[in-house]
């Protein structure tokens, strides 16, 4: 019923022994990066091509977020007039951009500050440091209904024991043990509870000092506060990605092996971030050269600083998976467009390395009523809700060990609190089911981790463009005509199809798809 019951046999799925997606890779492809990826750093929202501002508005009601082109700062000897308002001592030559917060109370002469900013050659953007909300309606293995085989539930993701066995057999092939197949995933959220036994073994550590790797960018608490959760959200998201397989308790993440989690805590209150905290977390995660960044957050602000930080990270071969958002103030899903904007999800349409994910309900087999949708901006749908009244069948995942919801506990584990559940006690005698596009996004992140791990095991590199092209444009997922208004091509997550289906050829493991070039250089999503 729980994780230990999973048997990892050597059965191949459909007779396939080689994931189709990897057949497009040749020995010379490890360093292939499309030209469009290299151009990302110059394509941020806001600012002119030279990086110099033409105008900006700031009424000092909130702090100001400014971003600099680091190469420009170096070339000008850090003489930019705005540097007098920020501490740039930590800027390193490996950075592409640097974001700083100018405190509203630190500027006594606003007109003089604005003139200095407009004279700056190195500023890329200047904008109010608005808040970003966590994208959740906030809303065990047998109880993880979203992991079932599609033969049981068409829109379950098919994370079956036979498929996991095949993936693991491929990744750990003795012939390729020299290759490091561990996938590094940054979770930018509310922090991760490092005492949760389903997550503690996979938190990233410095091999020399044995200290945990990550960062607290929330502006509150100790530097190591990323090892605690300011709510429950980051721990829940992390479990969906990577909760440890076959360890005697808890649940299974979609990528419960071959993964290392890097926590980045951008929220001190468990519900909101500042854009500065978010952009600083992205920049910090980039320094660790992570493979994927999961961000289950959203804002209506089209932030130039956020866009530049994402672009700079993608230029370092980092893929982003983000939540599409959970509708309006009443929790009713909306169509993403110029009248209803959610970022970073809406960067998907012109980004070759960012995937936006909407939510499916695993019971109704339709889009979740709270999920935003779009056939332009939402790349695919994945399970994010369960409308069943059975509390054991919610979007189960790990939660902080301090949460005692009185529903589930780790069998055989004697620690305090349950650390797993579908309910969170709100303190008023009621409970709310955990659901949202926040849950759908990390399920997709876990799926991509498995692909990257397989490629790494063969010493190969997959670019963000390749991953997005496979998911969005080539084969990548299930297709459902009824969903064509909800996601690009009606895409939804199906792991068997993601790993084994070739474009328009079915599960053929012997022939290369004719569209391998599209897999590499597709510009439809860039």
Catalytic residue positions?
Answer: 189, 233, 438
Phi-psi region of 362 (alpha: psi -120 to 50; beta: other; left: phi over 0): alpha
The token duo for 100 is 């700083």
CA 7, distance to chain mean position in Å, is 28
What is the C-alpha to C-alpha distance for residues 420 and 251, in angstroms, rounded to an integer? 8
The token duo for 214 is 């990550």
Kindly give, in sequence order, each residue whose CB lies less than 8 Å from that of residue 147, ignoring residues fewer than 6 positions away.
141, 156, 157, 158, 159, 160, 252, 254
The half-sphere exposure of 105 on its side-chain side, counting CA atoms within 13 A, is 0
The token duo for 525 is 């999503």
Q: Is the peptide bond before 344 cis (omega within 30 degrees of 0)?
A: yes
What is the C-alpha to C-alpha distance for residues 506 and 319, in angstroms, rounded to an integer? 26
SS3 508: coil
Question: Are the beta carbons of 37 and 461 closer than 8 angstroms?
Answer: no
The token duo for 337 is 């467009």
Distances in Å between the Cα of 330 and the Cα atoms of 327, 333, 369 are 7, 9, 11
Other CB atoms closer than 10 Å to residue 105's CB: what's the count?
8
What is the C-alpha to C-alpha distance for residues 444 and 60, in angstroms, rounded to an integer? 39
3-state secondary structure 381-399: EEEEECCCCCHHHCCCEEC
Rounded to 5 degrees, φ, ψ at 332 are -95, 125
The half-sphere exposure of 418 on its side-chain side, counting CA atoms within 13 A, is 21
């Amino acid at each position: 019923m729980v994780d230990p019951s999973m048997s990892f046999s050597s059965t191949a799925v459909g007779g396939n022994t080689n994931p189709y997606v990897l057949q497009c890779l040749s020995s010379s492809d490890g360093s292939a990066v499309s030209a469009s990826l290299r151009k990302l750093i110059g394509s941020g929202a806001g600012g002119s091509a030279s990086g110099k501002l033409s105008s900006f508005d700031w009424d000092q009601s909130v702090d100001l977020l400014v971003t600099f082109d680091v190469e420009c700062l170096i070339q000008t000897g850090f003489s930019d007039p705005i540097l007098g308002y920020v501490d740039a001592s930590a800027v390193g030559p490996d950075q592409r951009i640097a974001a700083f917060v100018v405190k509203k109370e630190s500027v006594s002469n606003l007109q003089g500050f604005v003139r200095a900013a407009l004279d700056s050659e190195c500023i890329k953007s200047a904008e109010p440091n608005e808040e970003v909300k966590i994208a959740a309606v906030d809303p065990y293995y047998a109880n993880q209904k979203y992991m079932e085989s599609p033969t049981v539930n068409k829109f379950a993701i098919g994370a079956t024991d036979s498929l996991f066995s095949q993936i693991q057999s491929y990744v750990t092939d003795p012939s390729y043990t020299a290759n490091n197949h561990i996938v590094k995933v940054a979770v930018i959220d509310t922090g991760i509870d490092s005492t949760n036994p389903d997550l503690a073994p996979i938190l990233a550590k410095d091999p020399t000092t044995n200290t945990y790797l990550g960062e607290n960018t929330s502006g509150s608490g100790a530097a190591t506060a990323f090892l605690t959760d300011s709510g429950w959200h980051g721990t829940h998201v992390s479990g969906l990605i990577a909760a440890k397989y076959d360890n005697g308790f808890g649940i299974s993440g979609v990528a419960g092996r071959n993964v290392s989690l890097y926590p980045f805590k951008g929220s001190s209150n468990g519900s909101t971030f500042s854009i500065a905290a978010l952009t600083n977390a992205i920049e910090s995660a980039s320094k660790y050269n992570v493979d994927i960044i999961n961000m289950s957050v959203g804002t209506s602000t089209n932030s130039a600083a956020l866009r530049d930080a994402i672009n700079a990270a993608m230029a370092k071969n980092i893929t982003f998976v983000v939540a599409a958002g959970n509708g309006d103030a009443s929790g009713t899903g909306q169509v993403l467009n110029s009248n209803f904007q959610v970022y970073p999800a809406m960067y998907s349409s012109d980004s070759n390395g960012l995937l936006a994910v909407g939510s499916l309900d695993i019971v109704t087999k339709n889009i979740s009523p709270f999920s935003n949708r779009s056939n332009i901006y939402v790349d695919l749908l994945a399970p994010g809700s369960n409308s069943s009244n059975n509390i054991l069948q919610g979007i189960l995942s790990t939660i902080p060990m301090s949460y005692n919801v009185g529903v589930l506990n780790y069998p055989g584990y004697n620690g305090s609190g349950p650390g797993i559940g579908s309910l969170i006690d709100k303190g008023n005698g009621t409970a709310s089911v955990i659901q949202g596009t926040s849950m759908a996004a990390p399920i997709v992140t876990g799926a991509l981790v498995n692909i990257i791990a397989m490629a790494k095991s063969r010493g190969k590199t997959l670019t963000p463009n390749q991953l997005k092209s496979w998911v969005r444009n080539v084969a990548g997922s299930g297709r459902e005509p009824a969903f064509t208004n909800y996601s690009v091509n009606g895409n939804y997550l199906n792991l068997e199809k993601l790993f084994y289906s070739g474009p328009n050829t079915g599960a053929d493991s012997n022939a290369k798809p004719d569209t391998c070039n599209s897999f590499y250089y597709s510009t439809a999503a860039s």
